[in-house]
């Protein structure tokens, strides 16, 4: 089969679209022919060598996508032709992926392959951030870093659905308009003095919770959080954060917590329950998904360059 691979760590130029051996199924696994694959910043981290990675060279990144079961492998509860999505299965950047039955998420008829590939990982991430890391309550003031990105847009819409006031942060004036278009109450530019703007907007009180996926902004996020508030750290697209002095948290009675989707996708039942809720939010119009930017899997190098450039304002998907 064909796959997007890399055998050394580095920039997009290390990526190679090449022929690799077909997956070999074990008991309890099914073979899925991929129809759409989600590209995420985690794939960039893996390509650079600074994020967990499975297998041996040539490496195949990717954990998210959707496709059709072409070999059910005598697994009870699934059959050839079933449409399934995946959010946490490695080696997804390939024509075929072996998927443990417990990780195969049934797709409703009204959820397209492209939508599933565009929303599962980022949507389930936004969901746990809003429901588990910090259960958002009505009238809370929420600050969301990278609010124009895939997770940021969905998290903004979930927060508004729950009745919160949302402050979105970004790095460009154009992306401020995107943030406002998905329901944020106001948007600030990280290149400006955004900390003062957040404090002014909240009458110096500070935000109830700040969702930080940038990393280098973590200490400033803590500074704009109210006494007794919470900072959720779940990514480092801007680089590793500086070390946090625990006394800063103690002095303001603030909570700093981390988040990782893998901690919540613990069973087939949990995957289906969370995905069904996410699909219902889309179906009922609470969450609207921006049309993804599409590249062929063969154009994986260009897709990585595009995502890493910061030009994207939504999801990038790969089509085998």
- Of 239, 258, 277, the one marking the end of a domain is 258
The set of long-range contacts for 221-226, using a CB threshold of 8 Å and a minimum separation of 24, is 221/143, 221/145, 222/248, 222/249, 222/252, 222/254, 222/256, 223/195, 224/143, 224/195, 224/198, 224/199, 225/252, 225/254, 226/202
Q: Are residues 145 and 254 in the same domain?
A: yes
Residue 41: per-residue pLDDT: 85
Residue 67: per-residue pLDDT: 98
Interval 230-266: pLDDT, tens = 999 998 888 889 999 999 999 999 999 999 999 999 9
Which tops the pLDDT comparison, 3 or 50?
3
Residue 187: per-residue pLDDT: 97
- Name the residue among 26, 36, 94, 41 with its Cα closest to residue 65: 36
- Of 209, 226, 258, the one marking the end of a domain is 258
- DSSP reduced 3-state for 189: strand
Position 49 in a domain: yes
Return the number of other C-beta atoms located less than 10 Å from residue 239's C-beta. Answer: 10
Q: Are residues 226 and 286 in the same domain?
A: no
Interval 7-65: pLDDT, tens = 999 999 999 999 999 999 999 999 999 999 999 988 998 999 987 788 889 999 999 99
- Of 228, 258, 288, the one marking the end of a domain is 258
Q: Tell whether the torsion through CA atoms of 134, 138, 140 and 142 is positive or negative.
A: positive
- Name the residue among 77, 123, 97, 101 with its Cα closest to residue 35: 97
Does 5 have pLDDT greater than 90? yes
Position 273 in a domain: yes
Q: Are residues 244 and 286 in the same domain?
A: no
Pull the structure tokens for residue 146.
């990278």
Q: Are residues 146 and 250 in the same domain?
A: yes
What average pLDDT is seen over the chain? 95
Residue 42: per-residue pLDDT: 87
**Residue 14 belongs to a domain with what CATH number?**
3.90.180.10
**Residue 197 belongs to a domain with what CATH number?**
3.40.50.720
Position 125 in a domain: no
Q: How many domains does the chain have?
A: 2
Q: Are residues 77 and 157 in the same domain?
A: no
Minimum mean pLDDT range among 207-211, 220-224, 309-313: 309-313
Position 288 in a domain: yes
- Cα–Cα distance, 171 to 191 (Å, whole number): 6
Interval 154-195: pLDDT, tens = 999 999 999 999 999 998 888 999 999 999 999 999 888 999
Residue 29: per-residue pLDDT: 98
The boundaries of the domain holding residue 79 are 2-120+264-319
Residue 52: per-residue pLDDT: 77
Residue 50: per-residue pLDDT: 80
- Cα–Cα distance, 73 to 31 (Å, whole number): 8
């Amino acid at each position: 089969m064909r796959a997007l691979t890399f055998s050394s760590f580095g920039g997009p130029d290390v990526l190679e679209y090449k022929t690799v051996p077909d997956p070999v199924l074990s008991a309890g696994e099914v073979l899925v022919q991929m129809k759409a694959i989600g590209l995420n910043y985690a794939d960039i981290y893996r390509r650079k060598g600074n994020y967990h990675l499975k297998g041996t060279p040539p490496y195949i990144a990717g954990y998210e996508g959707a496709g059709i079961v072409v070999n059910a492998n005598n697994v009870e509860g699934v059959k050839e032709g079933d449409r399934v999505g995946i959010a946490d299965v490695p080696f997804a950047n390939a024509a075929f992926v072996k998927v443990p039955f417990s990780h195969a998420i049934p797709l409703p008829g009204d959820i397209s392959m492209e939508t599933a590939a565009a929303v599962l990982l980022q949507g389930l991430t936004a969901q746990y951030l809003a429901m588990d890391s910090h259960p958002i309550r009505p009238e809370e003031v929420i600050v969301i870093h990278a609010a124009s990105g895939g997770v940021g847009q969905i998290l903004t819409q979930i927060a508004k659905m729950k009745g919160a006031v949302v402050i979105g942060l970004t790095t460009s004036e154009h992306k401020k308009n995107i943030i406002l278009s998905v329901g944020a109450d106001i948007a600030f530019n990280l290149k400006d003095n955004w900390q003062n703007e957040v404090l002014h907007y909240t009458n110096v009180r500070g935000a109830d919770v700040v969702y930080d996926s940038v990393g280098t902004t973590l200490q400033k996020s803590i500074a704009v959080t109210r006494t007794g508030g919470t900072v959720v750290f779940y990514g480092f697209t801007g680089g590793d954060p500086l070390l946090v002095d625990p006394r800063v948290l103690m002095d303001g009675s603030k909570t700093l917590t981390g988040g990782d989707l893998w901690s919540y996708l613990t069973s087939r039942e949990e995957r289906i329950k969370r995905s069904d809720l996410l699909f219902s939010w889309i179906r009922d119009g609470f969450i609207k998904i921006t049309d993804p930017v599409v590249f062929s899997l063969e154009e994986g190098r260009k897709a990585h360059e595009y995502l890493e450039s910061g030009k994207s304002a939504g999801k990038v998907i790969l089509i085998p």
